[in-house]
Structure 1
């Protein structure tokens, strides 16, 4: 019997997540496009800029992002490496507190403003309740990160997006969990007048039963649950103590292990 831990939910091997920064009014249009094609995103917001043009209003955050994830982008979008440690903490903590008061759930992720970070800042994040943070350093592949606190995306949406989409759709997973991670800013579509790009991308990749459409934090939670499975010495008993169900590969077949349940092989 051969067991491997290489499946996303429903036994899928491919996942897509979208990551958009700043929280400007153009997120409204982007979310409508995402929702039309069943695509989910994580939106990293600067709560200190709400209620001033061209940023979103605080009052609309909960409903607007209901099907997506709200994440931290710091209170005022500074270069974090230029600030004293105390101010870095304040920028993250205050943004977290304000956003949580709007969406009514703990916020556990962020993206670095301007992609600016250093080792000291990375080490601070777990003490501030941050479990992942996205960079702007695209690796142009479809792999899961080695370190979620420096989570590098696949590409920016202006970087050969449709070509990469075609490549991803044709790619054979070969027993791996593949992740297509796209980042950007919604205002860029307005500025460049190329909303057709993201609409075509969503049309090509959306509503596909072979792809898991997910937010950043859902990936964190699923992988954590998968890694936390408890396995007997003879590998015939597997217990899932987490709050979510997971899928594993047993002799080439996707097997579901429900939350709080045992699997006997």
Structure 2
């Protein structure tokens, strides 16, 4: 599970990758036999209802930056790649983050759209009722806007506690992604799944090493 954020130019920011480096990495995956998964395919593999391809990878994009629409969407469409966007509906339409119109275009292009909290807060600093609002309102807005089921969560800043987990379980969330580093395995708690953070300051050869280490 690869964890991307913004695709633009911001030297010194590890969560930002340049369009050129992102393109290089996606081309590497395409040229070396990697299969990008939809969330349904991922879920089917998890449940034992589908075979795992030789080199599976789930491309995840956190936060919902507008540059994901500008740079990632057309490239992934060209390569025939699937991706998952974890967005915070409360940030839409400010220009820096995706608008609902852009999100709908990405959904129509085959992206899975799932919640990342309403306003991207540190959930652990909130009461259970405030956490519930952040999680469930984000879920509701995505489902209302797209007509889909939004039952897979990504923790803002990777922060969660027992209250967070209880809310997810009580409301039927099937999976949740952390920022803990490593390969996702079926023996992990489905609400505490690991990913590999893609450091935008590191070259593609570092990503290759991380991928090879986790297969």
Fold shared, TM-score > 0.5 on shorter chain: yes
Per the normalisation by structure 2, the TM-score is: 0.68
- Aligned 8 A contact 1:61 1:102 in 2: no
- Aligned 8 A contact 1:21 1:44 in 2: yes
What CA distance in whole angstroms lies between the structure 2 residues aligned with 1:43 and 1:135? Answer: 14
Flag the 1:168–1:51 CA change in 2: closer, same or farther, 3 A: closer
Q: 2:106 aligns with which of 52, 61, 64?
A: 64
What CA distance in whole angstroms lies between the structure 1 residues aligned with 2:85 and 2:119? Answer: 15
Helix, strand or coil: the match of 2:62?
Answer: strand
The residue that corresponds to 2:96 in the other structure is: 54
- Aligned 8 A contact 1:138 1:156 in 2: no
- Aligned 8 A contact 1:22 1:73 in 2: yes
Q: 1:77 aligns with which of 109, 120, 127?
A: 120
Q: 2:132 aligns with which of 89, 113, 122?
A: 89
Flag the 1:142–1:97 CA change in 2: closer, same or farther, 3 A: closer
The CA RMSD over aligned residues, in Å, is: 2.7
Helix, strand or coil: the match of 2:65?
Answer: coil
1:160 Cα shift?
A: 6.1
1:166 Cα shift?
A: 5.8
What CA distance in whole angstroms lies between the structure 2 residues aligned with 1:77 and 1:65? Answer: 21
1:8 Cα shift?
A: 8.1
1:162 Cα shift?
A: 3.4
Flag the 1:145–1:164 CA change in 2: closer, same or farther, 3 A: farther
Quick check: 1:17 aligned with 2:58?
yes
Gaps of 5+ in 1: 172-177, 180-265
The residue that corresponds to 2:142 in the other structure is: 99
Q: 2:194 aligns with which of 113, 127, 152?
A: 152
Helix, strand or coil: the match of 1:165?
Answer: helix
What CA distance in whole angstroms lies between the structure 1 residues aligned with 2:184 and 2:139? Answer: 29
The residue that corresponds to 2:74 in the other structure is: 32
Q: Which has the higher contact order (CA 8 A, sep 6+)?
A: 1
The count of corresponding residues between Structure 1 and Structure 2 is 167
The residue that corresponds to 2:180 in the other structure is: 137
1:61 Cα shift?
A: 1.8
1:167 Cα shift?
A: 6.6
State how 1:196-235 maps to structure 2 within 5 Å.
none
What CA distance in whole angstroms lies between the structure 1 residues aligned with 2:104 and 2:187? Answer: 29
What CA distance in whole angstroms lies between the structure 1 residues aligned with 2:187 and 2:112? Answer: 19
1:148 Cα shift?
A: 1.5
Q: Provide, for residues 134-176 of structure 1, a one-character-per-residue CA deviation record: whole Å limited to 9, x for no partner.
A: 111112x46445111011113334466534436746x8xxxxx
The residue that corresponds to 1:186 in the other structure is: none
The residue that corresponds to 2:37 in the other structure is: none
